[in-house]
Amino acid sequence: MSRTDDHADDRPPATGSLAHRVPDLGALELLLAVARLGSLGGAARELGITQPAASSRVRSMERQLGVALVDRSPRGSRLTDAGALVTDWARRIVEAAEAFDAGAQALRDRRDSRLRVAASMTIAEYLLPGWLIALRTERPDTAVSLLAGNSAAVAQRLLSGEADLGFVEGLTAPAGLDSVVIAHDRLIVVTAPSHAWARRGRPLAAEELAATPLILRETGSGTRQVLDAALGGPARPLIELSSTTAVKAAAVSGAGPAVLSELAVGEELAMRRLVRIPVNRIALARDLRAVWPTGHRPTGPARDLLSLTRG
């Protein structure tokens, strides 16, 4: 029985978005399979759907277009003249969609082939190496570059698109960035064993620490931000240095007291190259954060690295 005239009076909507007037890709792929196999049932099996679902999809497509597309008989299914023409158009659309999908996959592959990380110095030196080794196990083909600097530099690189994921150590996430706390840290006061503070019998008060010139990280670093906040104003610099390693080396040499992360001085304390100086009621705890531009949640390798930091 022919269905050529079933929808002779149907008219698709003349207005509205293209998405409402053009069948979806699944329906077009079904039509192509019917044309190739000559059977609606065979097309349904190939696409992994039931025959009733395939019939319903064809009827929906016919109502949408306002023309009959398929004639069914005991000998199988064949396209109407209109169906043959629509199939030619459908083939071009499906081929274009396949090209689109291949291009999108190429973009994902390019994204996943590299990861640019920006991290403040303590995290870059003492935490990131372990995380990156673990990431290498999961993504051996991803090339990772690490840009180390202070928290302000990390924020600038993320906001300018020079990095995919960042890590900072300050009191809060820099402006324009979303964040999640991945660890906790504490700053401690250290000196060489020869310094007078190493022999004192009482903890340091905030006023005494604030009045003493210190070996410090530069302004803009998370360490400096936390220390200045704890003291209620800018710390007095004896020397300003741009890396944790440099500050630590200057303290070991006996140049003066320094304030550093606990993460950075474990070996020096254990070997008595540095001495920890107790402090009294000075808030030197801080959160370590992963950061990224607001509204752009990490994807691909950046998402995997973020997951490893919280494992």
> Pick the residue with more confidence: 107 or 184?
184
Instruction: Give the number of other Cβ atoms within 10 Å of residue 158's Cβ.
Output: 24
Q: Identify the pLDDT of residue 7.
A: 44
pLDDT at 143: 87
Q: How confident is the model at residue 19 (pLDDT cuts 50, 70, 90)?
A: low
pLDDT band at 2 (very low <50, low <70, confident <90, very high): very low
Give me the amino acid identity at 309.
T
Residue 109 pLDDT: 60
Question: If you average pLDDT over residues 4-17, what whole number do you get?
Answer: 51
Pairing of strands 143-149, 70-73: unpaired
Is 60 exceeded by the pLDDT of residue 4?
Answer: no
111 vs 282, higher pLDDT: 282
The mean pLDDT of 124-130, rounded to a whole number, is 91
Q: What is the pLDDT of residue 97?
A: 82
As given in the structure block, the two tokens for residue 113 are 């082939």
| High-pLDDT (> 90) share of the chain, % | 57
Q: For residues 38-52, give the mean pLDDT.
A: 90
Higher pLDDT, 111 or 236: 236
What domains are there in the chain, each with its CATH number?
18-110 (1.10.10.10), 114-309 (3.40.190.290)
pLDDT of 187? 96
Of the candidates 129, 135, 119, the residue with the CA atom closest to the CA atom of residue 302: 135
Averaged pLDDT for residues 208-227: 93
Residue 204 to residue 201: CA distance in whole angstroms: 10
Per-residue pLDDT tens for 137-148? 988 888 888 999
Summary mean pLDDT of the chain: 88
What was the pLDDT predicted at 39?
86
- The span from the CA of 72 to the CA of 55, in Å, is 10
Q: Could you tell me the pLDDT band of residue 111, with boundaries at 50, 70 and 90?
A: low
